[in-house]
Amino acid sequence: MDFENQLFWTRQEVYIAKIFLPIIIGFLLLSIGLLTAFALSFWWRHYRLWHLGKDENRFDQVATRVKTVLAVMFAHVRFWKELYPGALHFLIFWGILFIFLGKIVRLFSYPVGLTNPPQNIFKYASFISEIGGLLAIMGGGMAVYRRYIIKPSRLETKSERTLIFVWGFVLLMTGYVIKGYRIAAVGVSIPSNWLSWAPVSYMVSHLILILPSEPLNELLVWHRALIHTIPAFLLFAYVFITRNPLQHFFLSPINVFFRSLKLKGILAPIPNFEEAETFGVREISAYTWKQLLDLEACTNCGRCQDVCPAHLSQKPLSPRRMTQNLKDHLRREGPKLLSTPPDQRQPEAIMEKTVGEDELWACTACMACEEACPVCIEQISRNIDLRRNLVLVETKYSSDIRLTLKNLEKSNNPWGMARGLRTDWAKDLGVNPVRNSTGALNPATEQQGIISNGVKIFSEVTDPEILFWVGCCGSFDARNQKVATSMVKILQASGIRFGILGNEEGCCGDPARRIGNEYLYQTTAEANIGIMKRYGVKKILTLCPHCFHILKNEYPQLGGDFQVIHHTEFLMELIASGRLKLTKPINKAITYHDSCYLGRANQIFEAPRKILNSIPGLKLVEMERHRQRSFCCGAGGGRMWMEEHIGTRINQMRTDQAIATEAELIGTACPYCLTMLFDGIKEKGKSETMAAYDLSELVDQSM
């Protein structure tokens, strides 16, 4: 290495080394020791808090988990849904990373410089850290502009955050100033290509005042170093000791590591159901440790709030707010719980004080929040756990929920209609009427299990290919009975041998489960599984994404393993294989509404679009919020069965979004969505110009 640079690196120690070196080394060691102590205490406190919660196994598939962490941390994959915030965070992250890399290498120059000449690596390290500083300043500037001047509604700015910004900026500035001073005091006399490896500091060096004598200059270098190092050290200490936004450095990657590897929207059963003394979550330690970690990993970014249909329709629910409130609750109550022995604990209830009832029931379980969250927080199961406690233990819920649960218990459908009426939708699908003039079932058809010429009970079909699970909406709701009818016509036209369970079909259990009545869900589901196993059902076709999701993804928890296919996938297969020919054109513009449980939960986006593209004459226009960002119709989470008293009606908001596309048709694949949008069109007075159809109805029209 050239003599000049070596001088630059070693010159500073010439005078001070002899006197102050022991103190410097002592200080370095002390700081490292202290920082380690702070870090360990940080971990210890957080670990203890998390382990207040119940057990959960999240250590499976480590390779996939590590891959996700690396992708999220270094490529920021979950951030790029929004360009400006994604870019600014990317810059800040990489800027700080570069600075750290550069600094750590630089730290090694001290011991090395005393013994050996430094290597070229220090030049590169210096360059990297300078560029890092620039990136951090750029990103930081963008962040400050956004947070303090644009002030988007989802950002909450407390004074701690301002402190972090100022502190960080000061550190960056003082960092450049040290180098600048040293260049000014020592290095300018040594010609070198400063611009190539310390560009910013070189600029800064022009502004620095220096002193006449060498020892004084050297003293001032150390002075400047202290102004940089002590605040840096104190910042680290601050990050570890107090609650502050920067703790997300550690907590967020950890949370991403332990994320759920299952599909979204799959609820966990209550463990140990037979012996359990309590159900759901009443107080904070009833959550699992991962759910408690979720609370602490929340960076208060508010992306969830920006996509939540309840929040956007002025309900008291904001997922971010709930997480933050639960986090505060954990931090308040956790230490109290930890300091009392388990049998003497009197934990405070979460409901009422931390989470309001209207807030909790407003959730439609649409998973938009989980989709938007950059650090993979699981809000849905947390909400349902609270509901389980309210329903199963406190029995505290509104009268419409009570009626729905009662109907489900008595009549196995949410409307409370008699079980015997479940097959009425199919009675006209053939030549022989099922009921005679007095309304009694034609005895012949009742005995033979034939509902109509077209629709048979599964057990009566010879060599059936598939069970058509009609669902409660398709069976009882007038608008959706037409969808079931269309589906039957399609099945007949394609020559598929299918059967229905008829009056033995019970509700799939989705309303009960999402409302929180896990017991009712289990009894219903186990009965359904028993019936289907008895008939040797292998493949199930569903009309409804909620039935689809629960039959496919949640019934296996109770021993029901079936091959479940949603009618959009089924139709796509039929069309693609040529078994179904679509010839009649529908010359209209259509917009497709992605259902939450078809799209976000089961990642089925293409099949419905392929179907629409196969119908001649249809022109597909997408709404702004489509695919993963689709906006819930408002009926999920059991809300189909609850009254909407507060704020704007969610279904009207979605209908407005559809109207904005100027399409004449809205295509759906879900009976809830169909009902909601159908009502929405009526409520908005657009029944003359717009209509909502299920995709099977459109296929039927085009056959």
Task: Give, for 564, the enclosing helix (H) or strand (E).
Answer: strand 563-566
CA 499 to chain centre: 38
CA dist 293 to 119, 263, 636, Å?
44, 20, 27
Among 15, 20, 38, 519, binds another protein (CB under 8 A): 519
What sign has the CA pseudo-torsion 336, 341, 346, 352? positive
Among 49, 307, 377, 392, binds another protein (CB under 8 A): 392
Region near another protein per CB under 8 A, out of 228-236, 281-289, 307-315, 607-615: 228-236
- Nearer to another protein among residue 185 and residue 601 (C-beta): 185
Region near another protein per CB under 8 A, out of 43-51, 232-240, 468-476, 642-650: 232-240
Q: Are 268 and 57 in contact (CB under 8 A)?
A: no
- Nearer to another protein among residue 177 and residue 596 (C-beta): 177
Which candidate, 669, 447, 652, 429, places its Cα nearest to that of 543?
Answer: 669
Q: Which of residues 394-433 bind another protein (CB under 8 A)?
A: 394-395, 402, 410-411, 416, 418-421
Cβ at position 642, least distance to another protein in Å: 17
Q: Are 279 and 270 in contact (CB under 8 A)?
A: yes
Cβ at position 381, least distance to another protein in Å: 19
Determine, following the binding rule CB under 8 A, whether residue 685 of this chain makes contact with another protein. no
Q: Which of residues 148-167 bind another protein (CB under 8 A)?
A: 159-160, 163, 166-167
Q: Which of residues 253-282 bind another protein (CB under 8 A)?
A: 277-279
Distance CA 658, CA 2 (A): 70
Determine, following the binding rule CB under 8 A, whether residue 220 of this chain makes contact with another protein. yes
- Nearer to another protein among residue 520 and residue 537 (C-beta): 520
Determine, following the binding rule CB under 8 A, whether residue 212 of this chain makes contact with another protein. yes
Q: Are 278 and 385 in contact (CB under 8 A)?
A: no
Total residues in contact with another protein, by rule CB under 8 A = 48
Q: Are 475 and 425 in contact (CB under 8 A)?
A: yes
- Nearer to another protein among residue 158 and residue 579 (C-beta): 158
- Nearer to another protein among residue 410 and residue 497 (C-beta): 410
Determine, following the binding rule CB under 8 A, whether residue 244 of this chain makes contact with another protein. yes
Determine, following the binding rule CB under 8 A, whether residue 184 of this chain makes contact with another protein. yes
Q: Find the Cα–Cα–Cα–Cα dihedral 165, 168, 169, 175, rounded to 10°.
A: 180
Distance CA 229, CA 221 (A): 12
Cβ at position 332, least distance to another protein in Å: 11
Q: What DSSP character marks residue 539?
A: E
Q: Find the Cα–Cα–Cα–Cα dihedral 626, 628, 629, 635, rounded to 10°.
A: 90
Determine, following the binding rule CB under 8 A, whether residue 351 of this chain makes contact with another protein. no
Q: What DSSP character marks residue 91?
A: H
- Nearer to another protein among residue 409 and residue 656 (C-beta): 409
- Nearer to another protein among residue 174 and residue 299 (C-beta): 174
- Nearer to another protein among residue 188 and residue 691 (C-beta): 188
Region near another protein per CB under 8 A, out of 124-132, 208-216, 288-296, 488-496: 208-216
- Nearer to another protein among residue 131 and residue 173 (C-beta): 173
Distance CA 111, CA 675 (A): 73
- Residue reference for tokens 């009426």: 421
Distance CA 572, CA 611 (A): 6
**Half-sphere exposure of residue 380: CA atoms within 13 angstroms, side-chain side:** 29
Distance CA 489, CA 472 (A): 19
Among 227, 403, 646, 703, binds another protein (CB under 8 A): 227
What sign has the CA pseudo-torsion 567, 569, 571, 573? negative
Among 77, 144, 190, 208, binds another protein (CB under 8 A): 208
Contact residues toward another protein (CB under 8 A) are 159-160, 163, 166-167, 169-170, 173-174, 177, 184-185, 188-189, 206-212, 216, 220, 227, 231, 234-235, 238, 241-244, 277-279, 392-395, 402, 410-411, 416, 418-421, 519
